[in-house]
Structure formats: C-alpha cells, structure tokens
Amino acid sequence: MGRRMVVWLSVLYLLCHGIALVLLPAHALPVSYAFLIGAPLLAGLACVWRGRRSASIVGWVAMALGMGLWAAGMVLNMYQEVGRGNADATPGLSMLLYVLYGVPLTFAMAHPRQEPWYLSLIDALLALLLGYLFFVYTFSFATLSDAGEDGIAHLRLMFDVENIFIAGFALLRWRASEDPSRRVFFRTLCVFAWVYLGVAAYINHVETEDSYGGLGDLLIDVPFLLLAIMALRPSRGSEVRVPRALVMAVRAGSPLILALSLMVVSALMVREHPYLAVAGFALATVGSGLRSVLMQMRSFARQDQLDALSRIDSLTGLANRRQFDQSLRDAWERARRSGQGIALLMVDIDCFKAFNDRFGHPAGDQCLRLVAATLAGCAVRSTDLVARYGGEEFAVVVASTPLEGAPALAERMRHAVEQLQLPSAEPGRPVTISIGVGTVPRVLEADPAELLAAADAALYAAKRGGRNRVDAGGEPG
C-alpha cells in the first residue's frame, strides 16, 4: 500500500468520524466510541503487518499488544456509558487497561535485540511485575466499575508519568539506533509517543469536563492513525552515522528502563502501599542486578572465545603466528631462568606450490589440514606447541626436554606425514615434509631471534639436501 493512499485513508477516517457526529447527533456517543475503538485496532493491525516484514518483530508485536489493551479500555468505557447508561463514572478496569497499554511499549524499549532466552525471561518478569503494580495502584483509587474524581486525579498523574517516560526513552532509543529496522521502529514509536503525550495531556487536563461524543474525539484518533500511517508506509530505513559512545551507552542502559519504571511506580505507591513499594524497589534492584551479572558472564565468555579465536589459525586449528610468537617468548624466558636449553622445529611441505597448481586450492587446504593434524598428533607433550607459521610452513616449539629428543620428534613427524600417502605433484610419490631443527643448549640471551635463524637455516639445508628429510644442524654459532 502506497504512502499517499495510507494518508488519504486516514484523512477519510477522520472525515467520516466528524461527519457521523454532525449527521447523527442522537447517536453521537456510540458512533464516536466505534471510531475511537477502531483507530487503535487499525493501528495494532498495521503494526502486526509491519512486524511480519521487519527484523524488529518483537517491537512491532509489543506495540500491537499495547494498541489492543488501549482499545479494550475504550470498549469498557463504551459498555459503561452506552450499555449501562452511566456517563458519570469511569470503570476502574478501563483505567487499568489505559495504563497497562504502556507496559508492552516499555518492554519493547528495554528489550535489546538478539538476547538469550534467560535475559528475555527476566525482562518479561519485570514487565509483568510492572503491570501488577499498575493494577494495584489503579484499584487503590478506583473500583471495578467506578473511578471517582479523586481517583481519576491520582490516575492522571500516573498517565502523565507513564506518557512522559515512554516518549523520552523512545526518543533516546531512536537517536541511538544504528540498525535500519530498529531505527524505523523506534522512530515510529517516538512520533506516536510524543503525539499521544500531547493529546493525552490536552484531554486529561484541558477538556476534563467533556464527555465522549463531541468533535474533540477526532483529536484522540490522530496518534493512532499516525501510527498506522508510519507502520504501513514502505520504509526500509537507512544507515545513519551515530556516535559510537551514544550507541554503546544506550545499548548497555536500555535494560534498565524496566527497572526504572518499577522504581518510579513504586515511588508513587509509597503512601498507599508502603510494603509493596519497598518490594517493588527490591525486585527492581534484584532483577536489574541479576540481569547485569548474567550479561557480564556472557560478555566474559564471549571475550574468552574471541581471545581464543584470535590465537587459532582458522584453516588448520593450530596456534597462529601470534600465539606462536608469544609461546616462543614465554618458553625462551622459562629456559633462560632455569638455564635449560630449547629447540625449535621449522616444517615445510615439499613442493606445495606445485601441489596447488595441479590439484587446486581446495585440495591444498585439505592437505594443510591433514598435515597439521598429523604434526599435532606427534607432539603429545603439553609443553610442545605446534603452530602454523605461514603458508605451508609450520613451527614446533620444543621446551623442557633433552635436546636430543627434538630430532627424534622431527623424524616421527616426517615419517607420519609420509605414511599419509597423500598424492603429490610428483606422480608416484606422496606428500612429504622437510624439517629444520634449531637448538640452543643453554639460553643466555634475551632474544630468541638466533634460534629462529638457526631453525630456518636447517630447514633450507634439509630442502637443499633433497627434501623429505630432517636436518638437525641448526645451532647458533
């Protein structure tokens, strides 16, 4: 549906509402109620329609639920005035539904995207607790069938606090949204909330004596029709540059919205229900704290995972060059403090370029994975580290062992790779490796560069000597 068509249909809705009031003055009350119930229902249906096509489905469905609660409150008002003929009393249950309409909207603002189920459960429980406090507060000043003038005065304060709260946080969430779909949702919520705030303030504090059935009712239609327009219009959103500090601050602080809502409502209830108010404060604090702890644990776990991934070669699963450099420095320092020696193996797959040229890069990657797994299987000691040094080259740090064991380990690796019988670029011959062994009998210097150079020189000697062999002559001179 085009944007202009939606706008014209909304204007037509207002015109029909106004014309019906003028032409049917004897039935103005039920007619007006029909339009006042229809507007939020249409807005809710538009939100459901948009939610099915948006990545921000939770927000749109929450907004649709809020519209349904508001319409239900109007239905109860209609039953009181039209069905029972009592225009002097406002049902307390109706007032409750008008207040509860903001709970799903608050949940939508507080609920971050792509949260695990247990965090969503905490948010849902806090939202239910908020709804319960609204329920208690409402019926502190109203009965199921009647909310007198004194009760309505107190409930107007609740409406004002809630509407200002929703409008303010909706604006903040919109300005801090980077994701296009979330930005569209919060922009829609922001516009609706601010228009609704203005209309509600006017109805509650200016036109307080007027009953439904007048032309002023058209004003109540406006925020809901505006919401329907914004939900139905074709808008995919766009990438917007938002200060990163603002994005991170709002993302981290948005879960506190529900806790803050609970605290505000609890503060309003201190005089009438002090114990329940204290319980509200306590549960808001506990819920927010528990959520914060779980988020911290999840963040730590993710950080540990990222740290591990940053040290692992994604193709072979071995330590990467960064981890190798760190491990070599650590092993070198331990050997220097203890006065022990250290060995380093440099391993290279023979004729790997020719292998790639003949079999292709996917086969080359598979060859690297198989050779890496074989090398790792030979280095069984926890102190040994096998790493991918770069390309088809691997490195093995051998520490805390008699140095004569390093050539033996290198020979086991060479033999194990040969026994894989992987086809090579040379027909009739399997894939093989050459290994250079560098050793330092006693570590005295603070820099392992000489060990690297010795192992590298031994590797080139092994390749010059015919490949598929171990050269253990790499010792710094």
- Compute the distance between CA of residue 440 and CA of residue 123 in angstroms, rounded to an integer: 60
**Total domains in the fold of the chain:** 2
Any idea what the CATH number is for the domain that residue 72 is in? 1.20.1070
Residue type, 334: R
In terms of pTM, does the model score above 0.85? no
Q: What is the pLDDT of residue 56?
A: 87
> Mean per-residue pLDDT for 208-235?
86
Query: Is residue 396 a part of any domain in this protein?
Result: yes
Residue 228, domain member (yes or no):
yes
Tell whether 157 and 234 lie within a shared domain: yes
Q: Cα separation of 54 and 197, whole Å? A: 26
**In the predicted model, is pLDDT for residue 461 greater than 70?**
yes
Q: Flag whether 110 is in a domain.
A: yes
Q: Is residue 313 part of a domain?
A: no
Do residues 126 and 235 share a domain? Answer: yes
Q: What is the pLDDT of residue 143?
A: 64
To 5 degrees, how large is the angle CA 199–CA 174–CA 226? 35
Half-sphere exposure of 381 (CA within 13 A, CB side): 12
Structural domain for 384, as ranges: 321-474
Domain final residue pick, 274, 308, 342: 308
What pLDDT, on the 0 to 100 scale, is given for residue 145?
Answer: 57
pLDDT in tens, 137-164: 877 776 655 556 666 777 788 888 889 9
The answer on pLDDT for 475 being more than 60 is no
pLDDT digit string (tens) for 38-57?
999 999 999 999 998 888 89
Residues 298 and 336 placed together within one structural domain of the fold: no
Q: How far apart are CA 147 and CA 144, in angstroms?
A: 8
CATH number at residue 357: 3.30.70.270
Are 230 and 372 within one domain?
Answer: no
Average pLDDT over the chain reads 86
Three-state SS annotation for 283-311 = HHHHHHHHHHHHHHHHHHHHHHHHHHHHC
pLDDT in tens, 103-124: 999 888 887 777 788 888 888 8
In this structure, the answer to whether residues 276 and 329 fall within a common structural domain is no
In a domain, 235, yes or no: yes
Q: Which residues pair with 344 in a beta bridge?
A: 397, 438
Amino acid at 31: V
Query: Are 301 and 333 found together in one domain?
Result: no
Judgement on whether residues 133 and 270 belong to the same structural domain of the protein: yes
Domain boundary among 247, 280, 308: 308
- R_g over Cα of the chain: 36
Query: Does residue 315 sit within a domain?
Result: no
Please answer whether residues 278 and 269 qualify as being in contact, where contact means their C-beta atoms are separated by less than 8 angstroms.
Answer: no
Q: Establish if 21 belongs to a structural domain.
A: yes
Q: Please, which pLDDT band fits residue 419 given cuts at 50, 70 and 90?
A: very high
Task: Identify whether residues 141 and 91 lie together within a single domain.
Answer: yes
Residues 6 or more apart whose CB falls under 8 angstroms from that of 372 comprise 313, 316, 317, 318, 386, 388, 394
Do 333 and 210 share a structural domain?
A: no
User: Would you say residue 72 has pLDDT above 80?
Assistant: yes
Token duo for residue 169 = 């946080």
Do 93 and 142 sit in the same domain of this protein? yes
Asked if the model's pLDDT at residue 197 lies above 90, the reply is yes
316 occurs within a structural domain: no
pLDDT over 70 at 304, yes or no: yes
Residues 204 and 148 placed together within one structural domain of the fold? yes
What is the DSSP annotation of 30-81? HHHHHHHHHHHHHHHHHHHHHHTTSS-HHHHHHHHHHHHHHHHHHHHHHIII
Token couple for 330: 């650590």
Residues with Cβ within 8 Å of 86's Cβ and at least 6 positions away in sequence, in order, are: 80
Do residues 296 and 332 share a domain? Answer: no
DSSP secondary-structure letter at 82? I
- Show contacts of 421-425: CB within 8 Å, 24+ apart: 422/367, 422/370, 423/359, 424/350, 424/351, 424/355, 425/351, 425/354, 425/355, 425/357, 425/358, 425/359
Closest CA relative to residue 105, chosen from 167, 64, 69, 63 = 63
Sign of the C-alpha dihedral computed for residues 19, 24, 26 and 30 taken in this order: negative
Given 253, 277, 308, the domain boundary residue is 308
